[in-house]
Amino acid sequence: MVARVVLSDMGQDAVLGGDTEALVARLTRAAYEVALRYRPDRPFTELELALWREIRTVLNAPEAT
């Protein structure tokens, strides 16, 4: 079971349920894996594009059950 997380943004509280937490975890892992493949001697725009592609892939993938 995933614990509920409460975020505070400009006085507004939002409660994230398990589905949102799972998505955030998947996006974080995808971004981390892209960052590990990124070489600092390459343009930042390549990293940005790679992150965009990976996040799009995660968001378009069916949820794991």
The DSSP bridge pattern shows strands 12-16 and 5-9 to be antiparallel
State whether the Cα torsion 10-13-16-21 is positive or negative. Answer: positive
Render pLDDT for 23-63 as a digit per residue (tens, 0 to 9).
899 999 999 999 999 888 889 999 999 999 999 999 998 86
Render pLDDT for 2-25 as a digit per residue (tens, 0 to 9).
455 555 555 445 555 678 888 899
